[in-house]
Amino acid sequence: MDNSEKYDIITMGAGMAASILVINILRQRPETRVAMIETSTEFPKKVGESFSDVTAIFFNRFNVDHILKRQQRKAGLRFIFHDEATKKITDASDYSSPSILSEANGFQVNRSTFDNDLLSYAQELGAEVLRPAHVMDFNYSAFNSQVTVKIGEEIKTLRTTWLVDSSGRQGIVTKKWNWRMPANQLMTASSWAHFENVKKISSIDDRHYATTHFMGEGYWVWTIPLSDNTVSIGIVYDQRILKTNGMHPKDFFFQFIKNHPSLSELTSEATGTGFKHYPHLPYTSRKYREPGLALIGDAAAFVDPLFSPGMEFNSQQSLWLAPLILDHLKTGHYCERSWLKYEKLFSQAFEDRILLYENRYALMGDQELYGLMTQLNFAGYYMFVIHPSVLFPNLLKYPARFNPIIRPFYKKFRERMLYLYYKRKELGITSKINYKRKTFSFARMELAYLFNSVVITPRRIKNEAA
């Protein structure tokens, strides 16, 4: 006799990606029986994450204000450029993209508290949280999978109609089935830690809570102030351009910060803890689903943390997966055509994001050219993604992609920027451009301001501002 417990949905992992999916489902179908398996007793600190504009719109509509109020409001994006001519922060050139109070204005997120709060809310709605618990194995069968889980000293077998892999980079399903594929178009690695007693950037004061990026040829460094007064600092670098010369990643990371004029200034009295390193960042999956099984979040794919696309993909996936899973639970019908559309859509969106970042790391050494490239990206992002998603809410679930007309134009534009960069570098122009030059993103400042009261500012946020 099979005495295993049966659920409608089991998530292997209970972080943000799993929680927003489960919350979405339980709000629409409270009787859904959900088990969420989580290894940790408390979520550790992760990479301090910043909302993209799409993510901001999603969460501002998600009715979790009681969770968001514990996080830090975002003050925009800031890119500070360094080369051999810049000796301190006030010498560096600056490209800024301020945030305007709107539906697209997001937060700097402490993932430890944020993920915990979302999971607690999912539990309040009726999800059963198994924590700490360890997934030992799973046996897939369409709409009748089994998960072997260890809870303390007890080993249990759980059955489920839908199995959701939300295990992040661990990728329980993709590793077992050899689905994971590294994206070698980008040879990026990343190291990071959390720091206490980091100095504020005195030259910007009120924009201390912007996501600040320190840029150089082949790399960028984020500094993200979090709600617990710590600062997440990390580097992402193209291993073909910025060489570590065989140093251990931890030694290289802290040595890089010590030798960097601005970062050494900011962290002169700081202490860093919780060092992490990923030797290769981007990857995708051969498949994103099977009947009765779905991947979400970093369990499916990861591109690059610049512009924070991870949470954006997670939220958009949940807007697809929730109705697709609910439709099957309600009707018993599995619509292959709808699931194929979902899989193709996000697979193509991943490839387009790779195109967005490909060869971008070389341009990070030139403030003017990188600013032009980024301004073009922001203009397209607002014109084809943000404003349509606000005017027509159902469009929010569609990830950003290049259309057939824009794709070749973008490739040509990038090719031209790369040619100009190497030519300017050869002529010694880059250092002059990277010295005390200040510019702003018209795409995100002027257009956002222009449409502020007409398009992107909801009544709720207007009242909040008042």
Q: What is the Cα–Cα distance from 359 to 220, expressed in whole angstroms? A: 13
The answer to whether 450 touches 108, Cβ cutoff 8 Å, is no
The pLDDT, as a whole number, for residue 107 is 82
pLDDT-flagged residues of the chain (< 70): 1-4, 45-48, 85, 98-102, 201-210, 431-466
Instruction: Say what the pLDDT of residue 9 is.
Output: 99
Q: How large a percentage of the chain has pLDDT more than 90?
A: 63
Helix (H, G, I), strand (E, B) or coil at 323: helix
CATH superfamily name and code, 5-180+282-465 = FAD/NAD(P)-binding domain (3.50.50.60)
Which residues, 6 or more positions from 6, have their beta carbon under 8 angstroms from its beta carbon? Answer: 33, 158, 159, 160, 161
pLDDT for residue 443: 39
So what's the pLDDT on residue 439? 66
pLDDT of residue 8: 99
Structure tokens at 408: 């070749």
Q: How far apart are the C-alpha atoms of 108 and 100, rounded to whole Å?
A: 15
The SS3 of residue 202 is coil
Q: What is the pLDDT of residue 47?
A: 65
> Can you spell out the DSSP letters for 58-116?
HHHHTT-HHHHTTSEEP-EEEEEE--TT--SGGGBEEEEEE--SSTT--EEE-HHHHHH
pLDDT of residue 76: 74
* Residue 57, CA distances (Å) to 63, 130, 207, 210, 264 in order: 11, 31, 21, 18, 35
Residue 30, classed as helix, strand or coil, is: coil
pLDDT at 466: 33
How much of the chain, in percent, has pLDDT values that exceed 70?
86
**DSSP states of 432-459:** HHTBS-EEE-HHHHHHHHHTIIIII--H
In whole angstroms, what is the distance from residue 324 CA to residue 298 CA?
Answer: 20
Do residues 47 and 232 touch, judged by C-beta distance below 8 A? Answer: yes
